[in-house]
Chain A
Amino acid sequence: MNAPTVRVLYIDDEENNLHAFKAGFRRQYEIYTAISAVEGLKILENVAIHVIIADQKMPQTTGVEFFKSITNTFPDPVRILLTGYTDIEALADAINHGDIYRYITKPWNDLELHNSIKNAYDAYKAKIDLRNKVIELEKTNDELNRFIYSISHELRAPLVSAMGVINLVKMEGLYESCGEYWSLMETCSNRLDYYIQKTLQYYKNNKTISEHTNIDFSTLVPDLIELYSYSDKETHFNVDIKQDVPFYGDSFRIEVILGNLISNAIKYQKTEETHKKVGISILVKKENAELTISDNGIGILNEHLEKIFTQFFKSKTNHGSGLGLFIVKEALNKIHGKISVSSDPLEGTTFKIKIPNVK
């Protein structure tokens, strides 16, 4: 690999210094020299310079003045100030206003100056690389946003049409007409839809900035129950909401959290249980809301309790996606909420949540 060409501009009013510099460094760098600030500016306008070295003591414009004058027009080249005397004020000024990377005393030591130029170039490169990365990331982010939006529309719309056809098949009494093929199709479509929905939830949780709105749990909870219990009419819901004070929070994430827990409570029930129960109690206080969601379902094995919030954790017996509780936890992290769980295969599972009231 060839070493990159480093373009160095050296500005000094003493011709001898310019010669000495050129002689000493022309093998390592592409050297441009200028006898004054005006000359230096001309070069900057025509050549993409990486490192600028300027002498402080020059008749018309000092090194610091020159650096100051180009802060907006040429912000990228890294600046090194050469000075023959120790002028603290000039130095302070240089550091504060001229964006100086190094200062080197005259007469310079070749090795020291060489190292400084090398480091300055590295700094230049890091600065440019970072900027390119930011541009690249912004572009990727933008594409990802559009991709996610298209998942939520273009990718899901035909799937939902297919689910509509399956409904029609049921309505026309053809569901059993092909053995179990229609029910297999239905299971697959539902699973695909579930994954699309969870992927979107996860993504939106990561992206969306918290917006705080007034949340009325006594309307939110029945809405969520209606949404998730649609295909299940056997479960009995016991809802107890005490909200005497207004609650402000992130309604999107709270819906995601409650929605996932309610849908889990409905989904993981004992098939033989005749009194399927889900209890939801919410107590809203000035400082927080305490939510409890309990069920008499299949429960969670003790050794699994610690792992249920990790991504793609699935137990052998329950064919979940390994995403629901992971998303719950992620969403809670974003709004500084807490969750705890207790479970028993005989009694069922209870999740307790605390969400801060932000107003």
Chain B
Amino acid sequence: MLSKPRKVMLIDDNEVDLKINSKIITISKLFDEIIVCKSGEDGLSYLSEHTDDPNNLPDFILLDIQMPEMDGFEFLEIYKNFPDPVKEKCIIAILSSTLDFGDIKKAEANPLVIKLLRKPLFPKELEELLRKYFIL
């Protein structure tokens, strides 16, 4: 079990959803800080910048699938090559509205993804998931 998570990273191209999910996380008080990324590239550059700075790495990443240019799966392909300490610290769940069977199976099969959460995000569901990995 990991200690109480502090930072969460949201990766989503949809600004409305970024706003809604930030707000939901703020109200539910599950994290102290939210790192908002409007694309997979943004997320990756933040992570590479702070690779050796665990204090600034997110404990948890909520990743969208459908994004222009780099989609969630492409993000994961690159993230796979990050050093192990980063991957051990930053736990990833997918947060998507997809109903595409292929997308769902692909997400579930990815070893880096702990769960596929469906939009809209329910704070209770998020909390239950976090409890399996962190001491809240």
Contacts and interface: CB of A to CB of B under 8 A. Distances in A.
A103 to B, nearest CB: 53
A170 to B, nearest CB: 10
Interface in A141-179: 149, 152-153, 156-158, 160-161, 163-168, 171-172
Interface residues of B, number: 21
Given A153-B97, A171-B27, A200-B99, A161 B123 contact: no
A230 B98 CA distance: 18
Interface residues of A, number: 23
B97 A156 contact: yes
* Main SS class of interface, A: helix
A164 B118 CA distance: 11
Interface string A178-213: 000000000000000000110010001000100000
Interface in B86-110: 97-101
Given A153-B98, A156-B99, A172-B27, A165 B20 contact: yes
Contacts of B98: 152-153
A341 to B, nearest CB: 27
A156 to B, nearest CB: 5
Interface in B17-48: 17, 20-21, 23-24, 27-28
Contacts of B133: none
A160 B14 CA distance: 12
A171 B120 contact: no
A19 to B, nearest CB: 66
Interface string B52-74: 00000000000000100000000
B64 to A, nearest CB: 10
B27 A157 contact: no
B102 to A, nearest CB: 10
5 contacts: A153-B98, A157-B119, A164-B120, A167-B24, A197-B99
Interface of B: 14, 16-17, 20-21, 23-24, 27-28, 66, 97-101, 119-123, 125
Q: Closest 7 CB pairs between A and B?
A: A164-B120, A160-B97, A164-B20, A160-B119, A163-B120, A152-B99, A161-B16
Interface of A: 149, 152-153, 156-158, 160-161, 163-168, 171-172, 196-197, 200, 204, 208, 230, 252
Given A152-B98, A167-B24, A196-B99, 9 more contacts: A152-B100, A153-B98, A156-B99, A157-B66, A161-B119, A163-B119, A163-B120, A164-B21, A164-B121
